[in-house]
Structure 1
Amino acid sequence: MQLTRLLPVLLILPLVGCGTSPTRGPSAYDARPASFGVSGDFAGAPGVDAFVERMRQHGYSPDRTAAILSGARRQQSIIDLMDRQAPSKSTGPNGAWTRYRAKFLGEDSINNGVAFWRRNETALARASAHYGVPPEYIVAIIGVETRYGGFTGKTRIIDALATLSFAYPRRAEYFTSELENFLIMAREENIDPFAPRGSFAGAMGLGQFMPSSFRDHAVDHDGDGHRDLWNPADAIGSVANYFRHHGWQPGEPVAVPAQVQSASSARAMKTGFKTSYGLNELASRGITPTRALGRTGTVSLLELDAQGGYEYWLGLKNFYVITRYNHSTYYAMAVHQLAQAIRSRKGAPDGTRVSSTW
């Protein structure tokens, strides 16, 4: 949920269902003296003392924090997986978008999305009415993140966050903050900090929220007094709330294909969800939307490396909102197209196939 929300992700694929089981291997810290009573894998690790002190401000005694850290396990597999997340650079068209899209828009994914929608029709309708987010986009996020709850991850969250806080210096500042939020969250929700399991980067539940996003955006959508992101109803409400908080515009489009007169002219322009162009400026370069966009002021120019040639789209405000979940054009476009496919399939007669392009 960028690895902003959610997980300020470096990757193109969402961090879900990693299947990493907690195992204890040799620790670089085993020979170091215990600090603040912290024993085990993180005894004497850089940053542990400061973290124990940091938790005092939240009412965690040093003994309590030390006991939790002493029970956490350093996972080398997590470090290895993080190191493999750096995106590769492409020097030319290679069909990367077509391959990426296929991971999320197969027949099973669309059909399972329709089934998830039907199972949770009431919760989705209520969330859509309250937060202004169409149900198909809520369903698509959960589909892309965890295959509709089928792969929420097997790694203990405490192990993931402690490993990345105290054994992965490159991202230690970010993950230390998430560990802090996780311990506060566990106390707020009366959760055993050793119980929750999720992705190798610490994302949780059907929507893969990081702890800070849980505290900021998770909601008790079913009214049982608990925010439980492994519960479909709460996950649905929380995803919708996250989108609303980041500026979702009810009733507005997300993205539309662009008609390009000159591929070389488009290739020379800066593209991506962070770009901002006026429609007149794009028109002067031979780039126009394939349908009217109303009063839209500016749009982003999106380039997709599709098999057979580049595709160009215009992203609107709601497309940018999806990228707040994961800072990737491909991710947001996969969510958009999966949402459209699910809505079309749900409204189509059983067995009717939907178009593979949107």
Structure 2
Amino acid sequence: MPRRVIELTVWALCLIAAAARADYREHPEARAFIDEMVEDEGFEREPLTAWLGEAQRQDSILEAIARPAERTRTWAEYRPIFVQPLRVERGVEFWQENRDAFQRAEQELGVPAEVILAIIGVETHYGRITGSHRVIDALSTLAFDYPPRAPFFRKELKQYFILMREHEQNPLAFKGSYAGAMGYGQFMPSSYRHYAIDFDGDGFADIWNNPTDAIGSVANYFAEHGWQRDGLVAVRARASGEVERGDEKDWNRIDPPQHSVGDWNERGLSPIFELPADMPANALWLEGDHGEEFWLVFHNFYVITRYNRSHLYALAVDHLSREIKTAMEKQL
């Protein structure tokens, strides 16, 4: 048989196999998952099997998650994606519409309104783009047909079913991102169960349709991860002469601060305004619009990376929050 015919035959068989796996009741790993949920979490087998029978494999999700990550972008390329006039303008509008909720979040949880706004603005453009995939389709596809991260998504699928049971909701009814993130702040199911709060007191933490609950939940996420009230996020730094690069692992970290402002001063990097020499800080060395940029980043920067493990994401949130705050102050 010619090689080309063999290749086409194999591809056709793969498509047939994929179609056969579209009904996740018959997927071997899904069957094992059902057994686990019944034995460990006390679920009834029949409804769980029916829900997974309704779940549909989505090849578009597999294609989306396999795309190159943002780390291929420079800061000059990444920043304008999120820090733009329209996002600032709509952030101010969202603040005006929900001013009382933001004020409560600041007072009770210690997280500034502009930071909460920046997160919701980056994640979903203030609720305008929350995802069009059914959560059960996204999580099932990735849990059973995406081997590189299948264990993670199986855990999230488990958390999703538990969440739906806790709130007596239909697992087939909710939509989110291609990765199964949900609502204004794009919480994964495990994050919902740990950090989402009923901020308006109606008995249900609705992060999909209720901006008050979404605002409180994002603030609670940051508070639970150690946000420091009135703490700095990032400060631009100057290079005095040639900066001692040292170990490249020292730069662009998403860990808690490993050095101090004084350490960076000794390596030729100083903040644009005076800070305590013993203040813990990491440093960013980025390619900006006009060449190299240096930043000193602090504990609250690290907290933002708990939301998304990217130094570019955290810095974009910080920059967007600053521009939103400036625009908000003009409205007062």
TM-score (norm 1): 0.83
**Are 1:262 and 2:244 an aligned pair?**
no
Q: Which amino acid aligns with 2:316?
A: A
Question: Are residues 1:334 and 2:316 paired?
Answer: yes
Matching of residue 271 in structure 1 with residue 251 in structure 2: yes
Paired with 1:58 and 1:333, the residues of 2 have a C-alpha distance of 40
Q: Could you tell me how far apart the structure 2 residues matched to 1:215 and 1:268 are?
A: 39
C-alpha contact (below 8 Å) 1:27/1:41 kept by paired residues: no
Partner of 2:7: none
**Cα pair distance change 1:148/1:272, threshold 3 Å:** same
Q: Secondary structure at the match of 1:259?
A: strand
Are 1:69 and 2:52 an aligned pair? Answer: yes
Matched, 1:28 2:6: no
- Which residue identity does 2:99 align to in structure 1? E
Deviations 1:186-229 (A, max 9, x none): 11112110111010000000000000000000000011110100
Paired residue secondary structure (2:244)? helix
| 2: CA distance, partners of 1:151 / 1:158 | 18
Matches within 5 A, 1:127-206: 127-206=105-184
- 8 Å CA contact retained: 2:260, 2:277: no
SS in 2 for 1:162: helix
Report deviation, 1:27. 6.0
Contact 2:95 2:102 in 1 (8 A): yes
How many equivalent pairs are there?
313
| Unpaired runs of at least 5, structure 2 | 1-14
* CA deviation string 1:87-117 (max 9, x = no partner): 5657xxxxx2122111111111111111111
Structure 2 length as normaliser, TM-score? Answer: 0.89
Percent of residue pairs bearing the same amino acid type: 43
3-state SS of 1:47 partner: helix
> What amino acid does structure 2 have at the position aligned with 1:50?
A
The yes-or-no answer on 1:118 pairing with 2:96 is yes
How far is the alpha carbon of 1:30 from its aligned partner? 4.7
Measure, in 2, the Cα distance between the counterparts of 1:263 and 1:46.
59
> Which SS does the other structure have where 2:168 is aligned?
coil
Shift of 1:306: 0.7
Worse-superposed segment, 326-335 or 100-109: 100-109
1:224 is matched by which residue type in structure 2? D
Q: Which is greater in Rg? A: 2
2:172 partner amino acid: F
* Equivalent position of 2:65 in the other structure: 82
Q: Secondary structure at the match of 1:179?
A: helix
The offset of 1:86, in angstroms, is: 3.7
Check conservation: 2:25, 2:31, Cα contact below 8 A. no
* Aligned position for 1:226: 204
Distance 1:196 1:122 in 2: 27
Deviates more, 1:80-89 or 1:188-197: 80-89
Greater alpha carbon shift after TM alignment, 277-286 vs 108-117: 277-286
Which whole-Å deviations, capped at 9, do the CAs of 1:243-268 have from their partners, x for residues lacking one?
A: 01111000111111111113553486
Paired residues of 2:233 and 2:301 also in contact (CA < 8 A): yes
Kindly indicate whether residue 228 of structure 2 is the aligned counterpart of residue 249 of structure 1: yes
**Alignment gaps of 5+ in structure 1:** 1-25, 33-39, 91-95, 351-358
Report if aligned partners of 1:260, 1:266 keep a CA contact under 8 Å in 2. no
The offset of 1:297, in angstroms, is 3.1
Q: In 1, Cα distance between the equivalents of 2:42 and 2:83?
A: 46
Match of 1:293 among 275, 286, 309: 275
Kindly provide the amino acid, as one letter, of the partner of residue 115 in structure 1: E
Does 2:57 correspond to 1:103? no
Structure with bigger RCO (C-alpha 8 Å, 6+ apart): 1
**CA distances 1:6-58 after superposition (whole Å, capped 9, x unpaired):** xxxxxxxxxxxxxxxxxxxx6625547xxxxxxx5224324112211121222
Deviation at 1:281, TM superposition (A): 1.8
What is the RMSD of the two structures over their aligned residues, measured on CA atoms?
A: 1.9
Greater shift, 49-58 or 196-205, is seen at 49-58
The alignment status of 1:318 with 2:300, answered yes or no, reads yes
- SS of the residue corresponding to residue 263 of structure 2 reads helix
